[in-house]
């Protein structure tokens, strides 16, 4: 027969083991990428912090800014049913990683006269890279 303090200790060890096992199963259910803290997770967080006030990534969900679903490869100013500025409609390029990076850093330098006011740019190159990687996944 175990002493009461030994039984309590055994119970705590058993509960702790179940908690660790449950957490591992939950992480595995999310997939191996989620367990490692993927770029997509940090990219979505960066997007949420810097862009989500005006933009969504859900197709057709235009807000103050156009939705960014499948933005990479899309001609600037071409999303139907969104009232772009004349400058954006006439930009004459398709969005790629390099253009997005430059635009997020300084929108007025890439498309003078764009409608991204009061957004003045995102100075962090790392944050811009995370956002671009996140947007590239929205296919």
CA dist., res. 139 & res. 122, Å (int): 24
- What is the arithmetic mean of pLDDT over 66-95? 97
Per-residue pLDDT band at 4 (split at 50, 70, 90): low
Which tens digits make up the pLDDT trace of 113-130? 999 988 999 999 999 999
pTM score of the predicted model: 0.70
Mean pLDDT in the chain?
A: 80
**Residue 104: which of 58, 61, 60, 43 has the closest Cα?**
43
Percent of the chain scoring above 90 in pLDDT: 66
CA angle 96, 101, 102 (to 5 degrees): 105
pLDDT at 17 over 50: no
Q: Write down the pLDDT at residue 41.
A: 77
pLDDT at 18 over 60: no
Which tens digits make up the pLDDT trace of 35-77? 344 555 799 999 999 999 999 999 999 999 999 999 999 999 9
Q: Write down the pLDDT at residue 107.
A: 96
């Amino acid at each position: 027969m175990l002493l009461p303090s030994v039984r309590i200790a055994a119970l705590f060890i058993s509960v702790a083991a179940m908690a660790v096992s449950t957490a591992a199963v939950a992480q595995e259910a999310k997939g191996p990428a989620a367990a490692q803290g993927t770029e997509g997770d940090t990219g979505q967080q960066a997007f949420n912090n810097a862009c989500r006030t005006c933009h969504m990534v859900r197709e057709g969900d235009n807000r103050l800014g156009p939705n960014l679903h499948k933005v990479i490869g899309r001609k600037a100013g071409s999303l139907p049913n969104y009232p772009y500025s004349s400058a954006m409609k006439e930009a004459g390029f398709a969005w790629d990683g390099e253009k997005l990076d430059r635009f997020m850093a300084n929108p007025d330098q890439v498309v003078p006269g764009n409608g991204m006011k009061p957004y003045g740019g995102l100075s962090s190159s790392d944050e811009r890279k995370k956002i671009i990687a996140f947007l590239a996944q929205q296919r």
